[in-house]
Amino acid sequence: MRAALFVGPHHIDVGDRPDAAIAEPTDAVVRLVLACVCGSDLWYYRGDSPFEPGPIGHEFIGAERIIALSRHADRQALAREFGATDVVDQRGDEATAADMELTGGVGADATLECVGTGLAMETALSIARPGSMVGYVGVPHGVELPIGEMFLRNKGVRGGSAPARAYIPELLEDVLEDRINPGRVLDYATDLDGIADAYAAMDERRAIKSLVRVGAL
């Protein structure tokens, strides 16, 4: 395989190295997608700290599998469009078992709970690997956190209102230039007179997100 090699101060080259292989039970072979230069390695590059000639670099992204848990066909399709690599359509213990199988028994590095019931939060925590965080991006309902499990496995929960105003200056131009389509989740549209069905459509899973046109565009 190709790798970055430290030859000497101010001299980095690219060369061939043996293919990565599993030597210990705790090892993993990761196919790299992106990498970056670590600021700490600049001490070696500048010659300020000793470093043996050979491979250098350790900041990389392999860190990608996105698992969506949904039983709703339209949401499953949208999840895949956004980049989900796997879809689990079970709930509760079956969903946990499926996720653990997909992650080799480790669990998810990061988990999102998206406005579900207590069962959804319970599942999110059950599939989160030890030491990870569950983020809730809306207000869940009927949640009782399993403090004992969270303590023993160092799992955290964090969430709150989206700081939309903070992102507007950065994202507005992207939206106006059609680089970002913010309406991909809006699959139902009505006016104010149809507001009752807008709620019903989401409640009955006929819509992912309802758009209500109030004024003229």
Instruction: For the chain, count helices (H), then strands (E).
Output: 7, 12
Using an 8 Å Cβ cutoff, are 64 and 33 in contact?
Answer: yes
Using an 8 Å Cβ cutoff, are 5 and 15 in contact?
Answer: yes
Q: How many CB atoms lie within 10 A of CB 95?
A: 21
Q: Which of 93, 149, 100 is nearest to 119 (CA)?
A: 93
Domains in the chain: boundaries:
2-61, 67-159, 174-213
Cα separation, 131 vs 206, in Å, equals 37
Share of the chain above pLDDT 70, in %: 98
Q: Which of 162, 160, 90 is nearest to 127 (CA)?
A: 90
**67-159 carries CATH number 3.40.50.300:** no
User: How many angstroms separate the Cα of 57 from the Cα of each of 43, 44, 47, 52, 60?
Assistant: 13, 11, 16, 13, 8
pLDDT at residue 159, as a whole number = 92
What are the E-state strand segments in 85-202? Answer: 86-88, 108-113, 128-136, 156-159, 188-191
Contacts of 28 (CB under 8 A, 6+ apart): 22
What does the mean pLDDT of the chain come to? 89
Over residues 180-195, the mean pLDDT reads 88
User: How many angstroms separate the Cα of 207 from the Cα of each of 40, 76, 156?
Assistant: 50, 13, 31
Cα separation, 35 vs 63, in Å, equals 11
42-101 pLDDT, tens per residue? Answer: 889 999 999 999 999 887 776 778 999 999 899 999 999 888 999 999 999 999 999 999
Over residues 155-182, the mean pLDDT reads 89
